[in-house]
Amino acid sequence: MYTLFSGLWKYLFQKDEFFVLILGLDNAGKTTYLEQTKTKFNKGYKGMNLAKITTTVGLNIGKIDLGKTRLNFWDLGGQEELQSLWDKYYAESHAIIYVVDSSDRERIEESKAAFDKMIVNSSLHGVPLMVLANKQDLEGCLSVEDIKHVFNPIPEVVGDRDCKTAGVSALRGDGVCDGINWLAECIKRNIVSRPPTQRDIT
């Protein structure tokens, strides 16, 4: 009888947990994007004042539930001295969100250099990737096609992973839901290569 109830409990309450890294240079809008994600997917979440978000030093975390799937987000600091810490999280991650400030033309090459170093790491082989052209609400920003052209990795590096480049405005919340839903589906398709961490939710 215990086995029956235990199986039913797991069926009803167990979540498949996945870990998503949010990377990019400082001031790209990573933390704002995470806050919008938590606000849109967590009922009743009040969220931070987006106007008062400052540069991340270290790590911001967040989580959302999509049915029986739980996504845990790690928003890592993007300053040059902190980028050396990114690879400490690669082996445990199930997906990458790389945020680009499409309004900052002067730092595009710097962002591309950080991206190139990240994407060739063997610990990320096959991991779904979403590149976000953030701040699309600002006049004069680079278009999604511009960002796609700059950040398009060579096919040998991409392999058979799912990849997407999309435009967002983290400040306004534009494009956030579509991107997260797409990423969640990709993570579930990649479950054989990167199995979830399962936890009983009480």
Active-site positions? Answer: 79
Residue 202 pLDDT: 46
Q: Is the pLDDT of residue 47 over 90?
A: no
27 is an annotated ligand-binding site residue: yes
SS3 60: strand
In the DSSP assignment, the letter for residue 46 is: -
What average pLDDT score do residues 19-46 get? 94
Secondary structure element (H or E) that encloses residue 132, with its range: strand 129-134
56 is an annotated ligand-binding site residue: yes
Q: pTM of whole model > 0.85?
A: yes
68 is an annotated ligand-binding site residue: no
Q: Is the pLDDT of residue 79 over 80?
A: yes
CB burial of residue 12 (10 Å; 0-12, 13-18, 19+): exposed
31 is an annotated ligand-binding site residue: yes
Q: Is the pLDDT of residue 154 over 50?
A: yes
- In whole angstroms, what is the distance from residue 145 CA to residue 147 CA? 5
Residue percentage of the chain with pLDDT more than 70: 87
134 is an annotated ligand-binding site residue: yes
φ, ψ dihedrals at 131, nearest 5°: -95, 125
